[in-house]
Structure 1
């Protein structure tokens, strides 16, 4: 069943989504070589709780952490651990919060220090594919229009692998609602989009093949060929004419830029 949100509910969801964005900005401020992903997770959880919210992911279907933190060839759902991140890594952080009865959900892939040019392009194309998908998230279109826009740009134009096993989703009082929002598909297919539908659009794009495998923890998804993967996600509300993006990358990108400038002497 698809639940449409009232204007008041959308504003509550915006508050949740923007708190996720601020949490990711906090992560951007502290990220540096030598940190562990467990340290990042603890910092994010402290920030969320201090803002009178609850981490959406913690204990969700048994997931034991606040953030999904996926490094290099880990696509999504990575378990935070004690392995230090290093210069040249890419780190995808996916986080959700529950506040005022609604969830917010967003993800961002960070570059640690100096990364290879082909990895920079992967990050850029994945982020661009997200916004191309959002452009199609307007009333009157269908889910497949979003899916096609992402796949066409990432897979057909740039020859990357678009993950099939994991998809975007509806969002609201529950973390995962209908409809599912794949990152691949045919234009004009799938559920029709109506004003007030809130969804999480989240391209998961591999530099190499689209196939993935699961680690023994049952959660961490990795690329089959060991090449890097990127993941960006926004919570958006379908509107007439133009989607309303409830989360934001502005604070994250500003923090990321400041952190890079501050640590440039390190590299």
Structure 2
């Protein structure tokens, strides 16, 4: 069942997603060699609660933390731990909030210190592919148009698309219908309508697309142990263009200031 949101509901979803965006901005200040993902998790949980929200991932189906922190070859659902991040690592931070009865969900992959150029390219292309997908989130298009836009852009750049993990609807539940794969055929799949709210989240690998689940029951990593990137926005399908409810603005302000130091 796909729930179309009213304008009022979309504004409530925007508030929750902007809290996610600001939480990312807070977390971004701390990402450097030597910091642990458990520290990032604590910062995020405090920030979300201080701003009237509840961490959406904490205890969700038994997940033990507020953030998913996936380092290097981990694709998604990494559990924060006390192992310090190292220079040259990348870490995907996936954050969700519940505010005023509605969910927010967004992910960003961060560089830790100095990162190889090939990996920087993977991050850049994955981020760009997210916006290619968002361009297709308009009334009358289909879910396959989003997936095709992401897949063709990433594969043309020599990277591979994870198939088993997908985007999803967002609303009063963290995961709603429809599923939003990052691959597909143009003109295929569910027809998009104004008022649909979906999370588009490319998960793109430097090597092959195959993944495995770790023994913890959560962490997904690449089978070939090559790194993976993940970027996500929650968007409302519009008549003429998508309305991006989350934002990377706060992250990028922090990263810009850090690069100028």
TM-score (norm 1): 0.97
CA distance in 2, matches of 1:29, 1:35: 11
Aligned to 1:145: 145
Pairwise CA RMSD of aligned residues? 0.7
CA distance in 2, matches of 1:196, 1:114: 41
Given that residues 55 and 97 in structure 1 are in contact (C-alpha distance below 8 angstroms), is that contact kept between their aligned partners in structure 2? yes
TM-score (norm 2): 0.99
Aligned to 1:123: 123
Q: Deviations over 1:60-102 (max 9, x none)?
A: 0000100000000000000101110011110100010000110
Aligned to 1:21: 21
Aligned to 2:52: 52
Secondary structure class of the residue paired with 1:145:
helix
Q: Name stretches of at least 5 consecutive residues in structure 2 with no aligned partner.
A: none
Is 1:250 aligned to residue 249 of structure 2? Answer: yes
Aligned to 2:154: 154
Structure 1 runs of 4+ off > 2 angstroms? 259-262
Aligned to 2:37: 37
CA distance in 1, matches of 2:96, 2:6: 21
Given that residues 113 and 260 in structure 1 are in contact (C-alpha distance below 8 angstroms), is that contact kept between their aligned partners in structure 2? no
Aligned to 1:6: 6
- Correspondences of 1:178-257 after superposition (within 5 Å): 178-257=177-256
Secondary structure class of the residue paired with 2:45:
helix
Secondary structure class of the residue paired with 1:30:
coil
Report the Cα offset of residue 261 of structure 1: 3.5
Q: Name stretches of at least 5 consecutive residues in structure 1 with no aligned partner.
A: 263-267
Is 1:90 aligned to residue 90 of structure 2? Answer: yes
Given that residues 30 and 259 in structure 1 are in contact (C-alpha distance below 8 angstroms), is that contact kept between their aligned partners in structure 2? no
CA distance in 2, matches of 1:87, 1:231: 19
Given that residues 144 and 189 in structure 1 are in contact (C-alpha distance below 8 angstroms), is that contact kept between their aligned partners in structure 2? yes
**Aligned residue pair count:** 261
CA distance in 2, matches of 1:39, 1:9: 33
